[in-house]
């Protein structure tokens, strides 16, 4: 480990709506900050190089890979993880659809799936199934075969487009 990575940095950020101040090693990745420093274990490390999407969280409104993002990049950032998205009710309809359609099995990919899907369901247009598949193609699921996930997202999109209550 080089000395640079031994340096510690002071961070202020908002995580799930709560202001956070902490000091972390400069080498700390966002996923480790969430899991290790903040105890937010809902987000998972799967491949640690940005391919599987298990660590996907929302930073300043965009999905990012927690394993590719250094905490040092996030001074002042607003971060949402599955825990906060659950408590705020922002994706309650999506979560309900996932459960009803059995769009999760082991559940390890699910927090990342939900984060990726959140961005899609907040768009105005309802994409085709191919569009949903394309949007979700950065999130790996070994259990479901994806069809149930696509169905659950489609159901949520339709519900929102139809003005259904969440």
Interface contacts to other proteins, rule CB under 8 A: 1, 27, 35, 41-49, 51-52, 54, 81-83, 86, 95, 98-100, 102, 104-111, 114, 129, 132-134, 136-150
Nearer to other proteins, 58 or 163 (CB): 58
Question: Contact, 85 vs 91, CB < 8 A?
Answer: yes
As a whole number of angstroms, the distance between CA 18 and CA 144 comes to: 34
As a whole number of angstroms, the distance between CA 96 and CA 30 comes to: 28
As a whole number of angstroms, the distance between CA 137 and CA 121 comes to: 15
Nearer to other proteins, 12 or 134 (CB): 134
* Shortest spacing between CB 62 and other proteins, in angstroms: 19
* Shortest spacing between CB 147 and other proteins, in angstroms: 6
85, two tokens:
């998205």
- DSSP category for residue 34: I
* Shortest spacing between CB 12 and other proteins, in angstroms: 24
Nearer to other proteins, 12 or 23 (CB): 23
């Amino acid at each position: 480990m080089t000395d640079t990575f031994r340096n510690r940095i002071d961070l202020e950020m908002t995580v799930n709506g709560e202001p956070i101040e902490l000091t972390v090693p400069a080498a700390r990745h966002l996923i480790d900050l969430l899991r290790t420093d903040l105890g937010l274990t809902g987000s998972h490390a799967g491949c640690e190089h940005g391919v599987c999407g298990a660590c996907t969280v929302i930073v300043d409104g965009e999905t990012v890979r927690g394993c590719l993002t250094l905490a040092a990049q996030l001074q002042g950032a607003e971060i949402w993880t599955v825990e906060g998205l659950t408590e705020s009710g922002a994706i309650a309809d999506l979560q309900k659809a996932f459960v009803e359609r059995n769009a999760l099995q082991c559940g390890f990919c699910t927090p990342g799936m939900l984060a990726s899907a959140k961005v899609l369901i907040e768009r105005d247009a309802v994409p085709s199934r191919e569009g949903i598949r394309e949007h979700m193609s950065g999130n790996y699921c070994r259990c479901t075969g994806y069809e149930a996930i696509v169905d659950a997202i489609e159901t949520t999109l339709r519900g929102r487009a139809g003005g259904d209550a969440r």
